[in-house]
Amino acid sequence: MALIVLVLAVGIFSLSRYPLTMHTPQLEQHIPAICPVRTDPDSLSVYGRDWSTLYPARPSGIAFPETIEQVIALVHWANQQQMALVPSGGRTGLSGGATASQGELVVSFERMNQILNFDPVAASITCQPGVITQTLQDYAAERGWYYPVDFAARGSSQIGGNIATNAGGINVIRYGLTRNWISGLKVVTGRGELLDLNKGLIKNATGYDLRHLFIGSEGTLGFIVEATVQLTRPPQQPRVLVLAVPELADVMAVFTAFRQHLELSAFELFTANCMRHVVARGVPQPFAVSSDYYLLIEFESASDEPMDTALQLFEQLLEQGKVIDGVASESEAQAQALWQLREDITEATAVYQPYKNDIAVPVGQIVPFLQAANDLLSREYPDYEVLWFGHIGDGNLHIGVLKPAELDSSEFAQRCAAVTEQLAQLLAQFNGSISAEHGVGLTKKAYLSYTRSATEINYLRTLKQVFDPNGILNPGKIFD
Ligand code: MLT
Ligand code: ZN
């Protein structure tokens, strides 16, 4: 048995045109009648952007509504004044969707952060948009339930932002995206109307489901002001394996073998250089051998049977030479330690200001796509370090291109943007998507037409016009 049980203790900043008439002093005059506002330089730089680094933070101010009525009043006021509004949650987005670079008024939902109701019969929680993801998860867990949408930014992301971007994360293979867990949604449209959508119903066959139009719309159609989220039973004793896989071509053979016999809750890939960066920050290296690729697999193992199955699969794959080593967790603490190898990649490499691609292809196309992408990226980035990691079981790969320290940021961004154009063309050949889960925001809109047809984009624009005729909600995001 080779499986050991782990013992671990603006260069591309583009201006879009939209109405803007207010200046900071006027904001201070008008907004306090509606809700608290801030215009000090520190707040402007903090609330003016998300975790993406390509765009400057230049809002005019930040409004902090505390009630739905105040959000409605803000939207009415913005329509009268032709003032652009940018919604702001935990600002953990990676696509510039919550960036205000052109004097917009940021609308922060951090003061609308209350859990309003827990319904044990419906297995649901109704809450305001500013509730932190982890607060929601903990609240559910304290009552014996589980909110399964999860990702590394759980400690600061907010439920409103998760819904606005249809957040995915590490458990999508089993539980799906945020969309699957939203049974009710209150939104304030760009016209300042309040819509109460689906009202927590499980079944509701009454025509178009507008709820799903607002989920993932990145704050361009309406602002989410309340949500009802569904819960499920907590997973029983999740176990984690990390396997060392030498050949890219074998990655999905491992996936097929495990998925056929176990109910997987995660199937993640990361490359040797990701492991090196994470280990350099102090996360224990679990292997004596080194390998080009690593897979993290999670499944429930309430009895011995699933783990026995996993060990048998591991041994078969070992005999076939598809994996060369593996570790398994035996406790929750060990499972968390193994997850650090994957979840700490973003933080461990943030210092290199990575240019991020977040792509998806149909799961069956992963290996040929990755082989073609590898050819493209090795040819176009011979002198840059490129990280591959992500939710490979969903067909979703994150590509992080690290900026060499001496290289000017805007030159780096321009070069990466040009390569992204080629990547987008390749994705189109594979029926892929230029954004799997981070959203289009500002960073991907130049490539939208490789994933969505011109006819589709026309319909998106028409929908925007219907819900936000004056174009005041998060203008310039997704498309111009
Ligand atoms: C992840 O899966 O770790 C996140 O989507 C963050 C990232 O891509 O950096
Ligand atoms: Zn991700």
pLDDT tens, per residue, the chain with 480 residues = 344 444 333 334 444 445 555 667 688 888 999 999 999 999 999 999 999 888 999 999 999 999 999 999 999 999 999 999 999 999 999 999 999 999 999 999 999 999 999 999 999 999 999 999 999 999 999 999 999 999 999 999 999 999 999 999 999 999 999 999 999 999 999 999 999 999 999 999 999 999 999 999 999 999 999 999 999 999 999 999 999 999 999 999 999 999 999 999 999 999 999 999 999 999 999 998 899 999 999 999 999 999 999 999 999 999 999 999 999 999 999 999 999 999 999 999 999 999 999 999 999 999 999 999 999 999 999 999 999 999 999 999 999 999 999 999 999 999 999 999 999 999 999 999 999 999 999 999 999 999 999 999 999 999 999 999 999 999 999 999
Give domain status of residue 149, yes or no: yes
For the chain, the domain total comes to 2
One domain for residues 170 and 200: yes
Q: Do residues 259 and 334 both lie within one domain?
A: yes
Q: Which of 286, 319, 346 is the last residue of a domain?
A: 346
Q: Are residues 247 and 189 in the same domain?
A: no
Q: Can you list the positions of beta strands (E) in 231-292?
A: 238-245, 264-271
**Which class for 447: exposed (0-12), middle (13-18), buried (19 or more C-beta within 10 A)?**
buried
Sheet holding 238-245, edge to edge: 3-5, 325-328, 238-245, 293-300, 264-271, 385-390, 396-402, 355-360
Q: Residue 96's pLDDT is what?
A: 97
> 188 in a domain, yes or no?
yes
Q: What are the pLDDT digits (tens) for 383-392?
A: 999 999 999 9
pLDDT in tens, 315-350: 999 999 999 999 999 999 999 999 999 999 999 999
The pLDDT assigned to 26 comes to 82
* Measured CA angle at 390 (ends 385, 396), to 5 deg: 115
* CB-based contact 393:259 (threshold 8 Å): yes
Tell me how far apart the alpha carbons of residues 356 and 398 are, in angstroms, rounded to a whole number. 7
Q: Are residues 120 and 170 part of one domain?
A: yes
Distance, CA 408 to ligand 1 centroid (Å)?
Answer: 24
User: Any idea which ligand is nearest the CA of 340?
Assistant: 1
Shared domain check, 246 and 297? yes
**Is there an atom of ligand 1 within 6 Å of 152 CB?**
yes
Query: In angstroms, rounded to a whole number, what is the distance separating the alpha carbons of residues 244 and 458?
Result: 46
Distance in angstroms (rounded) separating the CA atoms of residues 211 and 221: 11
Q: Tell me, yes or no, whether 417 lies in a domain.
A: no
**Ligand 1, atom 8: nearest CA belongs to which residue?**
398
pLDDT score recorded for residue 431:
98
Within this chain, do residues 252 and 205 fall inside the same structural domain, yes or no? no
Q: Are residues 190 and 224 in the same domain?
A: yes
pLDDT at residue 467, rounded to an integer:
98
Determine the atom of ligand 1 nearest the C-alpha atom of 345: 3
* 142 found inside a domain: yes
Which of 92, 94, 154, 353, when mutated, tests ligand 1's pocket best, judged by the most ligand atoms within 8 Å of its CB? Answer: 94
Choose the residue to mutate in 343, 345, 435 for probing ligand 1, maximizing ligand atoms within 8 Å of C-beta.
345
CATH of the domain at 285: 3.30.70.2190
Find the 346 Cα to ligand 1 centroid distance in Å: 6
The answer to whether residues 130 and 189 belong to one domain is yes
Site to probe by mutation for ligand 1, drawn from 396, 438, 443, 444 as the one with most ligand atoms within 8 Å of Cβ, is 438
> How is residue 130 written in tokens?
């500013």
Q: Which residue, of 180, 206, 230, is where some domain finishes? A: 230
Q: Each residue of 135-194: pLDDT tens digit?
A: 999 999 999 999 999 999 999 999 999 999 999 999 999 999 999 999 999 999 999 999
Ligand nearest to the CA of 152: 1
398 lines ligand 1 (CB under 6 A): yes
Query: 404 C-alpha vs ligand 1 centroid, how far in Å?
Result: 20
Whether 153 is in a domain gets the answer: yes
How far apart CA 156 and CA 162 sit, in angstroms, is 11
Residues 206 and 174 occupy one common structural domain: yes
Let me know if residue 216 belongs to a domain: yes
CA of 390 to the centre of ligand 1 (A): 7
Residue 390 resides in a domain: no
The predicted pLDDT at position 11 comes to: 36
Contacts of 319 (CB under 8 A, 6+ apart): none
Domain boundary among 230, 256, 277: 230
User: Looking at ligand 1, which atom is closest to the CA of residue 342?
Assistant: 3
| Structural domain that includes position 172 | 115-230
* CATH number where 131 lies: 3.30.465.10
Looking from the CA of residue 170, the nearest atom of ligand 1 is 2
**Domain co-membership, 204 together with 243:** no
State the Cα–Cα distance between residues 23 and 264, nearest whole angstrom: 53
Whether the CB of 346 sits within 6 Å of ligand 1: yes
**pTM, two decimal places:** 0.94
First and final CA of the chain: distance in angstroms?
Answer: 57
Dist. CA 358 → ligand 2 center (Å): 8
Q: Is residue 315 part of a domain?
A: yes
**For ligand 1, atom 9: residue with the closest CA:** 346
Please check whether residues 295 and 200 belong to one and the same domain: no
Whose CA is closest to 225, among 114, 86, 59?
114
Please check whether residues 223 and 264 belong to one and the same domain: no
Characterize the bridge pairing of strands 124-127 and 194-197.
Answer: unpaired
